[in-house]
Amino acid sequence: MKGNPAGASSTSSPHRRAVLRELPLLLLLAALAAFFSLRVHGFSNAVNIGSIGRDTAIIGAMGIGMTFVVITGGIDLSCASILALSSSFMAILMQRTGGIVFPVAVALASSVALGAGNAFLVTVLEAPPIVATLATLSLYRVQAIQTVTLISDLPAGFRALGTGVGSFGLFALALAAGLAGLSRSSFGRHVLAVGGNLQAARLAGVRVKRTIGWTYAISGLCAGLAGLIASAMLNSVQGNMLMGYELDVIAAVVIGGTSITGGRGSVLGTAAGAAIMAVLRNGLIVAGLDVYWYQAIIGVAILVVGGADKLAARRMEAA
């Protein structure tokens, strides 16, 4: 019922379908960008395009991790909170020691650990992903707010990560790792298999719980990475930074064509979805619309794309 799981990527037709799937996304992205640059003054200047690029990198980096989680049939609502908390640890260390490498290492390590916390709740305590990560969404966020109110003026060397080149480099790295991890490694095949049919994957010898657990750790790591970009870009860390961005990320993943029921997903699609969300967020704000409109529009976007996906799947099933 959920499509054929393992081995789906080795035949040619899903490949063609994947390309076809990406094409409308790029067209949509181009159309949105064209619309905003024609209608909204100041949308297409260099500064703004740079900020769209960095927004894409932040949402996209988190989205790559989220894609793995969603393919297993899970969800990670805590990603933006992990971003804030791991960045908070980093900022405190930077303030105390003045170093860069060690604080960054701590940020990444702690983001993996926080993701592992989700993995523990989901695989060992067997909490439904939505409930587990709803709980950690607020646990981690509150911890971040209690750890850091505002630390600004981060070391100059670190701020290079927030420049166009730096943030694009980090994002490209994550994208390459995500692409290779999903389609070229046995881990990626296990992730797809678990999401496609859990029982079949188990019978085929896939360590289901371990695979699922790792996806949450990866999502944590990606959030940590996005945190580096965000704090370098803002030149500050706040406990309440990027609150609510998990919705952008989920929307990017869903728009990118990853099925929320699991078993099917595209890292490239997520990257395109992230760019669409960044253009949308940015265009509406530059146009002078309330940022709250954007929140309402994300909701509609998720509903429309998710619904269209369901209808298309049903038609394919009937054919």
Partner 1 sequence: MRLVREIAKYRLGAVAVLIAVTIWFARTPHFFEAETLFGLTRQYAEIGIVAVGMTLVIATGGIDISVGGTAGMVSMLLGFLAVGHGWNIWAALGAAMICALGIGAVNGFAIARLGMEPVLVTLATMSLTRGIAYVLTQGTSLSLYSYDSFRAISSTDVALPGVSVPTPAIILLVTVAVAYVLLRQTVFGRQILALGQSEAAAKLAGIPVTRAKFQTYLLLSLLAGLAGALISSRSATAFADAGRNYEFEAITAVVLGGTSLSGGEGSLIGTLIGVATMAALRNGLALTGQSDLVRTQMLAVALIAAVVIDNARKKLIRGGSNT
Of 55 and 248, the one with the shorter C-beta distance to partner 1 is 248
Cα 11 to its chain centre, rounded Å, is: 27
Cα 142 to its chain centre, rounded Å, is: 21
**Least distance (Å) from partner 1 to the CB of residue 172?**
29
260 binds partner 1 (CB under 8 A): yes
**Least distance (Å) from partner 1 to the CB of residue 29?**
20
318 binds partner 1 (CB under 8 A): no
316 binds partner 1 (CB under 8 A): no
215 φψ region: left (φ > 0), alpha (ψ -120 to 50), beta (else): alpha
Closest listed residue to residue 91, CA positions, set 223, 246, 243, 228: 228
Of 30 and 311, the one with the shorter C-beta distance to partner 1 is 311
276 binds partner 1 (CB under 8 A): no
138 binds partner 1 (CB under 8 A): yes
**Least distance (Å) from partner 1 to the CB of residue 169?**
31
Closest listed residue to residue 208, CA positions, set 221, 219, 197: 197
Stretch that binds partner 1, among 42-50, 168-176, 189-197, 290-298 (CB under 8 A): 290-298
203 binds partner 1 (CB under 8 A): no
**Least distance (Å) from partner 1 to the CB of residue 292?**
4
317 binds partner 1 (CB under 8 A): no
300 binds partner 1 (CB under 8 A): yes
**Least distance (Å) from partner 1 to the CB of residue 193?**
20
How many residues of this chain bind partner 1 (CB under 8 A)?
42
Q: How many CB atoms lie within 10 A of CB 17?
A: 13
- Figure out which of the listed residues 125, 165, 203, 318 binds partner 1, where binding follows CB under 8 A: 125
Stretch that binds partner 1, among 7-15, 108-116, 123-131, 166-174 (CB under 8 A): 123-131
Stretch that binds partner 1, among 61-69, 89-97, 119-127, 197-205 (CB under 8 A): 119-127
Q: Segment 141-170, which members bind partner 1 (CB under 8 A)?
A: 142-143, 145-146
Token pair belonging to 240: 């309440």
Coil, helix or strand at residue 45: coil
Task: Name the burial class of residue 96, with classes exposed (0-12), middle (13-18) and buried (19+) by CB atoms within 10 angstroms of its CB.
Answer: exposed
204 binds partner 1 (CB under 8 A): no
- The residue ranges that bind partner 1 (CB under 8 A) are 75, 121, 125-128, 130-132, 134-139, 142-143, 145-146, 247, 250, 254, 260-261, 290, 292-303, 306-307, 310-311, 314
